[in-house]
Structure 1
Amino acid sequence: MCGGLLLGSGASALNVRVLVASAPQLTVRVAAPAPAPGGLSVPGAPAAAPLPAQAWTVGVTGAQLTLNGQTTGSATLYLPPSAGSVVDIAGKTYRGGVQLRAEGGAVQGINVVDLEDYLRGVVPAEMPASWPAAAVQAQAVIARTYVTARINPATPFDTCATDACQVYGGVAAEKPQSDAAVAATRAQVVAFGGKAASTFFSSDNGGFTASSAEVWGKDLPYLTAKADPFSAGGPRARWQLEVPLGRVQEAAGNAGVRVGALKSVTVTRVSESGRPLEITFVGATGSGKLTGASAGGFVRALGAPATRVTLAGLNPLVLSGSGSGHGVGLSQYGALGLANAGYSHLHVLGFYYPGTQLATLTGRAGAGDALMAVAALPVLPLEQVWAAAQLAARPGSVQ
């Protein structure tokens, strides 16, 4: 590890800054046997009392960080990444370096890591590395695209390590198969209009992709509703949920429905993808409706794994559904089905993000000239997809 902890901040081109920990106190360890001359030190400390090279306890006093109990006089510390460097932050090992920030009485641990090394800890955390190469390669490209669109030097960090962003497990998550998928797709991203596309994905769309407009009220031309015959083999391809009336009443109230004691809850309008666009509530004091994204939010509030559902009864309210997740963009089980049918990762991407292009990163991520278009992604005619799905479903096909 070259260098020590430095006052300041910053990340170089194609580095990603990932918030991996936040606590009143963090332990940071590095692999270097000793700090470089003039490196790790606490401002104002005697020159004869260097800090340990292997482990630092980082705390916060007021708006300043402390190192092993001594005030640094700064709100930030930065250990830059170098070739092959690793760092432990709060007990987990990550490639690259670390930036530490005092924020709201806590220490933020931000892993500063090369984009491709970052993906090595993301892809197997989001999709089984043992799946066919085409599926894992597609996941690598959309993960790279997702974070490329979020790199912003003006913010304290670019992304987080949980499913609120995309899951990042660091070195412990890495697998040879997913490493190979990251390497095989190096620098590849999905682009639209010269920018990184919004590559949303979910586990299983239940046989029909949802549009971004119906789920979030944001209409993107490449995130549309269409049949997906490959996304039908997941563990939640079909499910049923029974919800007691009391919980239904509570969820309706939380959504702003005020109709008194409920007498019926019915889906009165559905989207093209078969998801509720309007749910009507009849109660003792009147009736009310939830529409658009609010209708889907009510379904999720009942504990449903997805919103492609039908409703029946009232006490309990029976939800019969298919799939898992929001259903927008790539379906991971659909990607598995397409890969098993022999399609490449480019076909997978072209199917789930029609009208987009394959591009490569050429400059500083987040900059306007960072992408260079390579070619339009292939679009599969739906008839061809259905035929391939039927073939893949025959006895003896690879699953």
Structure 2
Amino acid sequence: MRALALLLALTGAADAVNVRVLVASAPTVRVRVPIDTSSAYQGTSPSTPTFAEWIVGVKGNRLTLSGQDSGSDSLYLPPATNSVVMIGNADYRGGVQLRAANGKVEAVNVLPIDDYLRGVVPSEMPSSWPLEALKAQAVVARTYAISRLSPRAAYDLCATEQCQVYGGLAKETPSASAAVDATRGQVVSFGNTVARTYFSSDSGGFTASASEVWGMDLPYLVAQPDPASRGPKSAWTLSLPLSNVANIAGRYGVRAGALSSVAITKASVSGRPTEITFTGANGTARLTGAEAGGFVRALGAFSTRVVFGGTDPLIVSGAGNGHGVGLSQYGAQGLANLNWNHLQILGFYFPGAAMSALQEAAGQVAPSLGEAATLPRPSPDTLAALVGQPAD
């Protein structure tokens, strides 16, 4: 009980942690900033502030403002309380860093981390889902962002699914913001460091380990049954002409001649191929490890948890959507529907990890971690009931 109480109480001074998010990179970028930031957006409805607006371009290695030389290769409007900037055609909380880079304007939104999360959580998970699932997503997204802080780089994160999808002010919703507020300062940790909190849409009923997908041996990112993960792509099938399969295999260096068969000859414990064998007129060839997974994704598969059938066409039958490592979003929804709280959800998807509170100290480049408490891990009986099998 004390551990649970500590987990629920863990909060930190996260508001002052700024993140830098690349939201635009183009020959020209439209930017509008409030001249008097105190009159800008107040969190409920916009007022009518005074704005300055420019078309920011590049001439040589310097920025131009509506065609006029700015005299610099970078400009910075720092974030202020309740400030909003327009970059492109979207509004964002915080400030903006503009820089000339390779003939383009890079526009980087600079804002407090929880304001950033208000635009991430509803972009990554439907706001209609249970609050505990949204809270788990908020903690995972906050942890991911903190792990990417890189003061020497031009920015910390991008705004697409290559990092985390960030939609700015227009994407914010009351329920997602409530999840961010309820988990203020909470991050997943392991060994007194910020954990790597990957997530995907649907594990297909069995999470993948970081080792099998990316060759990273992280003890809290393991392969395990995930029976609550049931999304729209829980089961799917592709039918591919063998000629198309051969063309894709060729991109991976497969030189077996005209193919007669393609088979998964080794698979991981999670059911993802670790070796694929190609038989053709010139003999056999194999793809192993990450290349095997890359080939499956190149076929157009939604995930790599697949089995092959048929010959021509090749039938790819799969389960899930995404890489399957870490938190499954549909699994989080399923567990929340079973009345699991966000700590239990996180404990399931990151076994052996802990919850820590972000702490800030003057002069530190990045926040440190405060007191940690191990996340609750469901008992074997609880997991067995979900899987539908007797406990060992």
Q: Which residue of 1 aligns with 2:156?
A: 158
CA–CA distance in structure 2, aligned partners of residues 147 and 356 of structure 1: 17
Percentage of pairs with the same residue: 56
Deviation at 1:53, TM superposition (A): 4.3
Superposition pairs of residues 299-318 of structure 1, within 5 angstroms: 299-318=296-315
Matched, 1:130 2:128: yes
**Which residue does 1:195 correspond to in 2?**
193
Q: Indicate which of 13, 22, 25 corresponds to 2:25.
A: 22
Output the CA distance in 1 between the equivalents of 2:343 and 2:57.
47
Give the conservation status (yes or no) of the 8 Å contact 1:191–1:373: no
Is residue 249 of structure 1 aligned with residue 224 of structure 2? no
Paired residues for 1:90-101 under 5 Å: 90-101=88-99
Secondary structure in 1 matching 2:332:
helix
How is 1:156-195 mapped onto 2 (pairs within 5 angstroms)? 156-195=154-193
| Aligned partners of 2:17 and 2:367 also within 8 Å | no
Where structure 1 has 5 or more consecutive residues not aligned to the other structure, the ranges are 1-11, 37-51, 391-399
* Corresponding residue for residue 324 of structure 1: 321
Following the alignment from structure 1 to structure 2, what is the Cα–Cα distance between the partners of residues 277 and 244?
A: 23
Query: How many aligned residue pairs are there?
Result: 363
Distance 2:241 2:300 in 1: 12
Shift of 1:34: 9.2
State the match for 2:140 in structure 1.
142
Residue matched to 1:42: none
Higher relative contact order (CA 8 A, sep 6+): 2
Distance 2:382 2:19 in 1: 39
Q: Cα distance 1:266–1:142, how it changes in 2: closer, same or farther (>3 A)? A: same
- Given residue 236 of structure 1, which amino acid in structure 2 is its aligned partner? K
Determine the C-alpha separation between the residues in 2 that align with 1:372 and 1:35. Answer: 33
Unmatched runs of 5 consecutive residues or more in structure 2: 1-14, 40-49
Rounded to whole Å, the distance in 2 between the matches of 1:320 and 1:222 is: 28
Aligned partner of 1:350 among 347, 353, 358: 347
Which ranges of 4 or more aligned residues in structure 1 deviate by more than 4 Å?
A: 33-36, 364-369
* Mapped partners of 1:252, 1:296: distance in 2: 12
**Cα distance in 1, alignment partners of residues 386 and 314 from structure 2:** 37
Task: Summarize deviations over 1:286-318 as a string: whole Å, max 9, x none.
Answer: 101111111111110100000111001121100
Within a 5 Å distance, the mapping from 1:5-20 to structure 2 comes to: 14-20=17-23
User: 2:67 aligns to what?
Assistant: 69
Aligned partners of 2:102, 2:148: CA distance in 1, in Å?
23
Alignment of 1:297 with 2:294, yes or no, is: yes
Matched, 1:268 2:227: no
Q: Which amino acid aligns with 1:21?
A: A
User: Alpha carbons of 1:367 and 1:382: their partners in 2 closer, same or farther (altered >3 Å)?
Assistant: farther
Equivalent-residue separation in structure 2 for 1:297 and 1:386 (angstroms)? 32
Q: Distance in 2 between matches of 1:164 and 1:366?
A: 28
CA contact (8 A) 1:357 1:373 kept: no
Aligned-pair distance for 1:369? Answer: 5.9
Residue number in structure 2 paired with 1:370? 368
Amino acid at match of 1:30: V
Matched residue, 1:220? 218
Partner of 2:10: none
SS at match of 1:380: coil
What amino acid is aligned across from residue 263 of structure 1 in structure 2? Answer: S
Q: 1:68 to 1:368 in 2, by over 3 A?
A: closer
